[in-house]
Chains A and B, each alone.
Chain A
Amino acid sequence: MSLPNERDGSVKNTAAYSKTLQQAAWLEQLISFGVVGLQLIGLAILLDYLLFFGTRVDLRLQWLVVGLLVITVRASQVWVLVLVFQVILFSRFGGPRMELRPGEFFYCFAALLLVFYASRMPLLRIPSTKRFSRWVAEQITGSPSELSSSASLSHLLGLFERVFSFIGALLYCFVVLTIAAFVLTVLPFTPNSWRQWLELSMGEGGVLWPGPTLCVAALGLWLIVRELAWRQMTKQQAGLYLRSSFLREYYSDLRMMVRRRLKLDRKRKPGKKVPKKGGEVVG
């Protein structure tokens, strides 16, 4: 696929130019298919390992389950994946008295990373795949419009950006998992933490630790958050809230007044005579 001769402005070369662009577009689509296919294969392998490693499940059943999960991941139905992992963890990993082993920690890390990947909005996956595929297609076909050095640089930067965002996602998962592990060790779910809490409570004179501190901190936090939320209200929202509060108190009274007025209006229609108390009709 050679470049059209730019000095020759004949129709033939214009046709060749558009043909080159069309080829580049189809090649880009093909490469996109390839990239997505590789992603799906990697996903399937990881899922198969996480779900069926060490089990004797039939291979066809494994492929079926993995296939269904890949479809749900692609369709961004992340709750299915979370449920499946919870069921696996529930049935396979059970240690006495909440002791976490390193293997389980890395299993949870891999599972969380998969959930993280699956939860990303489908639309956000398109641009990066398209960018990469387009860049590769342009390199192969040599489409003239994209051969400038700044375009190549931007694509390279895009590639680095993807790598950094992947590393960032790994770190994020790791940090979340670590914080969760820390919280689990601090909260009284293991024998060590029970003992620790009991000692601290006895030290405080029998008051259940960290009860008072936690209550005060929670109350303070709640007040701050509520105050900030109130101050974020728009003028119309504030007006609506006032109306709503007023009506909550006086709705029944106002409804009674309105209904009575409507009843009187219906009686006072033109041509209709309203009878007086003494039986005399007044026009």
Chain B
Amino acid sequence: MTNRSRFLILLGLAGLFAGIVRGQASLSLFSLSVFLWILFDWIQFQAVVRFQLPHVKFTRTVNGNANSSGTLWVGRRVHVDVRAETKWKLACPVLLRDVVPENLELCTAVNVAGAESRTELLQGQEPNGPSESSKISRVVRWLGLSVGKSASPWGANELLQLAPSREIEFSYVARVRGAGKVVLPGIRVVLEDRRGFFRQVKFIPVEQSFRALPDYFQSAETRPTVKRHNSLPSHGIHRLQRSGTGAELLELREYVPGDPPKSIAWKASARRENLMTRQYESEVPVRVRFFVDGGTSSRLGGFGKRLLDQMNFVAASVAKAATSIGDPVSGTLIDETEVKQLSWFNGDFGLLQFLSALAEFTARPLSTEALLSPSMIRAAQAICFERYPELLDRRYHSLPFTIFSSTRDRIQLAAVLAEVSNLTPREQVECTIDDRQLATQLQRFLFDSGLPWLGQPGEFVSSGSRDDSDKRPVEITQALSDSLSAAIARARDNEVFVLFVEPTMVVNRLERLLPVIKLAIAKHHRVAVVCPTSTFLRPSKQSLRSASKQVEDLLWVGEQARMRDLLEQLQRSLVRLGASVTFSGERSAIRLVLAEMDMARDGKRSVTGGRA
């Protein structure tokens, strides 16, 4: 029941009482009529809610696929069609919203198709209507003449169905923001009677889960396929001139008994009057190994804006370029909880497996605890309101008495969390009292609901004691160093090692990485260090000029200067050893890594590729 109907009932009953007391038949009649009218409306509405709404069947197809799982690609458009079918026409206006996770960015509403010609639909932006100035459009809307494009309160994934209909269908286009997992949980249905007296909110689960693979940059350049040198990593430098079973001719030599007859070069033998044998080149790959830092600092931020998304883009693009010419790729994925070693991948299928591993790694939850904050609670409450409206019904959940609304909200939130996450009663009570426990449960709840955690770095603590938070960055750097040295020991020929690290973390622990990088370069491997930074923090000449003399601008310039110094220090240390460094997570980083691969191949940097 809405406040509208409550107020009217109050007026009706008050009028009825006054009419009976004063002996006024007309007042009693009118007031009782109002009360009965609302009662009949309630009965009608309940009939729709109890008997019609449960029979509504929803189906959703994503890019034409109605299966419960699938694969999507970052940055590419996703076409979603939602269809609702029911045996009887829904007699009340209904607002349907396909709940979309944070990782999907809505683009537009595509069409407003309905099964019946007289169906009136309002979805997203209304397609008809001339454009109006803002004041006139406000008057027009108030008069109830139109709902203009600028005034539509519904998103592209929402549809308000006004007229009764057996079939409702709407579509929208979205775009995947970041790699990981995309879960479309279901449809939120808001049913309201035609007078706004009663409202029922329900969430109908129609779950579809998708793996979002990172996008890659497809270069138009052809990659060279000739490798001039192949150095062994141990016992000094020497050139390998070994014949093999390749397709290209290396040299001609004199025939030795035991050589296969088909390798004899008859024409050259006739010319030299001596039997000559063809020697072919050996075909060797340029192996690329990625080391990805997936720690907390790389995962902070919204989908598509995290440092890890930049790393995924560069890694995927380089992997695509490498596998397209038969070079294998591998990776070591590091975060606070584990170091995952990937096997070698080759070819298109291998590329897909590599991207899936990256997506799975990106989809992992944060391993560090977050401190409880009001924004975390608000986010969780918003999700509960959207996806679990039935659990917020006070009829099924009596709260202990308290005068503080924040305590009451917290108890209610703990109850919903307990039911959704299947907690014990003791854990539920812990959530109402212990901030840490509530923060842990909320973090898990928010992650399961597809929300990235947008907390500030200062709002995190280590998973162990709060006193040893300094240990966290060292562990990742140590793991990075250990993995790199293990990779060097296992390397067969000169390989390319690409390190994706968060710059502020590595610059403080550089002493752990420098020896290993030095060792790798000494063994004739190529090392590229990619330190993605947010575009607004990338140091440039303009960034050191303050826009005004405001305190915020001056602080901003100070932060830029500090970042610039840190990155220059890092660059100096690494370039001195012979490693390449970039602070971008975009195409320039891809070009740098590909250039390192060219260097590994022929000792020469080539800007454009091509068969030599």
Residues in A lying within 8 Å of B, measured CB to CB = 22, 25-26, 29, 32-33, 36, 74-76, 78-79, 82-83, 85-86, 89-90, 93-100, 104-105, 107-108, 111-112, 115-116, 119-127, 129-131, 154, 157-158, 161, 176-177, 179-181, 183-184, 189, 228, 232-234, 236-241, 243-248, 250-251, 254-255, 257-259, 262, 269-270
Contacts and interface: CB of A to CB of B under 8 A. Distances in A.
Contact of A127 (B28, B34, B163): B163
Contact of B30 (A108, A233, A240): A108
Nearest to A112: B33
19 contacts: A25-B128, A36-B143, A74-B142, A78-B8, A90-B18, A94-B23, A98-B28, A111-B30, A124-B162, A126-B147, A129-B145, A161-B118, A183-B32, A233-B396, A236-B391, A240-B416, A244-B397, A247-B415, A254-B425
A189 B393 contact: no
A211 B140 CA distance: 56
Nearest to A85: B30
Contacts of A74: 142-144
Contact of B196 (A76, A189, A237, A239): A76
Contacts of B143: 33, 36, 74
Contact of B194 (A120, A236, A254): A120
B25 A79 contact: no
Contacts of A115: 34
B40 interface: yes
Contacts of B28: 98, 184, 189
Nearest to B18: A90
A275 B147 CA distance: 73
Given A93-B26, A184-B25, A257-B426, A124 B93 contact: yes
Interface of B: 4, 7-8, 11-12, 15, 18-20, 22-34, 36-37, 40, 50, 93, 117-118, 120, 122, 128-130, 140, 142-147, 160, 162-163, 192, 194-197, 388, 390-391, 393, 396-398, 400, 415-416, 418-420, 425-426, 428-430, 432-434, 465
A82 B8 contact: yes
A119 B196 CA distance: 8
Contacts of B11: 79, 82-83, 86
B229 to A, nearest CB: 54
Most buried by B among A29, A75, A107, A158: A29
Contacts of B429: 247, 251, 254-255, 257-258
Given A244-B397, A246-B425, A95 B25 contact: yes
A124 B194 contact: yes
Given A79-B7, A250-B425, A244 B23 contact: no
Given A93-B27, A157-B118, A158-B118, 12 more contacts: A33-B143, A76-B196, A78-B4, A79-B4, A90-B19, A90-B22, A100-B25, A236-B391, A237-B391, A247-B415, A257-B426, A262-B433
Nearest to A154: B117
A97 B20 CA distance: 9
A223 B140 CA distance: 50
B30 A89 contact: yes
B145 A36 contact: yes
Given A112-B37, A120-B194, A243-B415, A104 B8 contact: no
A146 B113 CA distance: 18
A126 B239 CA distance: 83
A254 B418 CA distance: 15
B36 A129 contact: no
Given A22-B130, A262-B433, A269 B465 contact: yes
A98 B33 contact: no
B26 A176 contact: no
Most buried by B among A86, A95, A107, A183: A86
Given A86-B30, A98-B24, A258-B429, A236 B388 contact: yes
B397 A240 contact: yes
Contacts of A251: 400, 429
Given A79-B8, A86-B11, A259-B433, A94 B24 contact: yes
B96 to A, nearest CB: 15
A257 B424 CA distance: 14
B415 A176 contact: no
Contacts of A232: 50
A64 to B, nearest CB: 19
A182 to B, nearest CB: 10
B145 A112 contact: no
A99 B25 contact: yes
Contacts of B33: 108, 112, 176-177, 180
Contacts of B30: 85-86, 89, 108, 111-112
Contacts of B162: 123-124, 127
B34 A82 contact: yes
A28 to B, nearest CB: 9
Given A22-B130, A108-B29, A123-B160, A240 B18 contact: no
Given A96-B23, A123-B122, A243 B145 contact: no
B206 to A, nearest CB: 15
The 6 A-B residue pairs with the shortest CB-CB distance in the complex, in nearest-first order: A127-B120, A104-B26, A100-B25, A89-B27, A254-B429, A93-B26
Contacts of B400: 247-248, 251
A131 B268 CA distance: 90
Nearest to A229: B395
Contacts of A248: 398, 400
A86 B18 CA distance: 10
Contacts of B7: 79
Contacts of A32: 145-146
A130 to B, nearest CB: 7
B24 A33 contact: no
Most buried by B among A127, A131, A154: A127
Nearest to A234: B390
Contacts of B391: 236-237, 240
A129 B25 contact: no
Contacts of B26: 89, 93, 95, 100, 104-105, 107-108
A278 to B, nearest CB: 29
Contacts of A82: 8, 11-12, 15, 34
Contacts of A259: 433
Most buried by A among B393, B415, B425, B465: B425
A226 to B, nearest CB: 11
B398 A244 contact: yes
A130 B195 CA distance: 20
Nearest to A89: B27
Contacts of A236: 388, 390-391, 419-420
B4 to A, nearest CB: 7
Contact of A126 (B19, B144, B192): B144
A82 B10 CA distance: 11
A157 B163 CA distance: 14
Given A25-B130, A76-B196, A123-B122, A105 B145 contact: no
